[in-house]
Amino acid sequence: MSKVSDECKNILLKENIDIFSEIDFDVNSKVHTLSFEYIVDTFMQASEESQLVFMVALKKALKTDEMGVEKFFEGMGQLLLMTHLSSKIEL
């Protein structure tokens, strides 16, 4: 696991945000459930620069309020699902 990943998870822990919290996404009547941990781990597979951008965005979301964190993870989860689903589309 990367240093940035550990730092992101520690940030959530310090803020008393459960890393195992889950968000449900309804895509074409099929529900996809992603945990905060899964979202962090998946983004940590990106380049080091992208990992740092993720961490900075997470810190900014925390400064807004708890709803900011929820919205942050909703947006990141949607991005992951769109990327995953679009890679399966044949043109």
Q: How far apart are CA 5 and CA 43, in angstroms?
A: 9
67 is a domain residue: yes
Global confidence as pTM: 0.84
63 is a domain residue: yes
54 is a domain residue: yes
91 is a domain residue: no
Q: How far apart are CA 91 and CA 88, in angstroms?
A: 10
Residue with tokens 């679009």: 86
The structural domain count of the chain equals 1
How many whole angstroms from its chain centre is CA 80? Answer: 8
13 is a domain residue: no
Residue with tokens 């909703």: 74
48 is a domain residue: yes
Token reading at 50: 């992208």
38 is a domain residue: yes
Domain of residue 79: give its range.
Answer: 3-8+20-86
For 5-27, give the DSSP string.
HHHHHHHHHHTT--TT-EEEEEE
What is the per-residue pLDDT across 5-33, written as a single tens digit (0 to 9) for each? Answer: 999 999 999 989 899 999 999 888 889 99
pLDDT at 91 over 60: no
Residue with tokens 């309804």: 26
- Quote the crossing angle between the two packed helices 3-14 and 48-64, to the nearest 10°: 10
78 is a domain residue: yes
